[in-house]
Amino acid sequence: MKRGAPGQPSEPAARSEIGGGSPAGAPWRTFPPGRIIGKGHPAGDFLEAYDWKVIEQRPGFLKLDVHLPAHLRNPRGDLFGGYTPTYVDMVALRTAASARPQGTGGKWLSTMSMRVDYLAPIAADRFVIEGERMHTRKGTHLVEVRFRAADASAAELLAFAVVTLKDVS
């Protein structure tokens, strides 16, 4: 939430979609339109996900314009491979959550498995990540996550991942 000057009321945030209940204690649940997360989430802040831009969003699908912060680059200047799954997890979780009806909150999601294929170095300052829910049944969600260069064709992938998520209480 945005805070007013001392002694003045707080201004409500533009939008909140993540999880159920109040955003108190979880400031990352509140974010402006065109974004998927606010500041204050440990992994989200590490990835600087609060600056990612939504290109396209519909239930079970996200297409994001993402940047590559300097602290995530390896000595060659590419995305360090060990951080790729952090992007994958964040996008898969938000993709699965986007399929829930707005305002219903929802259960916590836990990552059960993840497979990442590295197809080409991710070196550009900006790239595109797509998340797509492929299957859901009895609280289990299968999500594909695709990394592409910003100017790439649909057939050109930088990385590809499949994630299984589970609703938990």
Domain locations in the chain?
41-168
Give the span between the Cα atoms of 68 and 73, in whole angstroms: 8
* 34: nearest Cα among 21, 17, 19: 17
pTM across the whole model:
0.81
Sort 154 into a burial class: Cβ within 10 Å, 0-12 / 13-18 / 19+. Answer: exposed
CATH 2.160.10.10 fits 41-168, yes or no: no
Q: What is the pLDDT of residue 24?
A: 56
Give the span between the Cα atoms of 40 and 24, in whole angstroms: 11
Q: Under a CB-based contact definition with an 8 Å cutoff, are residues 128 and 66 in contact?
A: yes
Q: Which residues pair with 127 in a beta bridge?
A: 66, 149
Which pair of structure tokens corresponds to residue 73? 């680059």
Q: What is the pLDDT of residue 27?
A: 73
pLDDT digit string (tens) for the chain, length 169 residues:
333 344 433 333 344 444 444 445 687 777 778 888 889 889 988 999 999 999 999 999 999 999 999 999 999 999 999 999 999 999 999 999 888 766 656 678 999 999 999 999 999 999 999 999 999 999 999 999 999 998 877 778 999 999 999 999 7
